[in-house]
Amino acid sequence: MSSHTHGHAEGASGHEEGLIHGDGPHGSLKDYLTGFILSVVLTAIPFWLVMGEVSWSKQTIAFVIVAFAAVQMIVHMVYFLHMTPKSEDGWTLTSLVFTLILVVITLAGSLWVMYHMDSNMMPKHQVSQPL
């Protein structure tokens, strides 16, 4: 009984020791400042595109904003969430890729179904003008 308790206590203290000493990936102040500055820049440019007198088309501005949003998500994952291919033996990156695949399949399937439902509906009634 005492050997079982002793082994459990060692495992618990080893686990707690890993948490206290911080064996996981932690960023330095430089990493956090780099991430913060990149986040501010990646937010300020789209804000300027929307609020400023930019003569681009609405579609171009929307595409640029989506591109900046995608880059900002990557910056947050790398600098703040520490999601790299090396973290947790690659399992966090693997689960992220799996999640993205499921989201893309769900969105593409939903858009496909909605497009075909709309195109296969009965023709809309045309309003005739009184004679």
pLDDT of residue 128: 65
CB proximity list for 22: less than 8 A, separation 6 or greater: none
b/e code 1-33 from CB counts within 10 Å (16+ = b)? eeeeeeeeeeeeeeeeeeeeeeeeeeeeeeeee
pTM over 0.75: no
* 9 vs 68, higher pLDDT: 68
Contact partners, residue 46, CB within 8 Å, separation at least 6: 64, 65, 68, 69
CA angle, 83 then 89 then 91, to 5°? 65
Token couple for 30: 């430089």
pLDDT tens digits along 19-74: 444 555 578 899 999 999 999 999 999 999 999 989 999 999 999 999 999 999 99
pLDDT tens digits for 81-118? Answer: 888 888 888 888 888 899 999 999 999 999 999 999 88
Q: What is the pLDDT of residue 129?
A: 63
pLDDT range class, residue 16, cuts 50, 70, 90? very low
| pLDDT at site 71 | 95
Tell me 85's DSSP state.
Answer: T
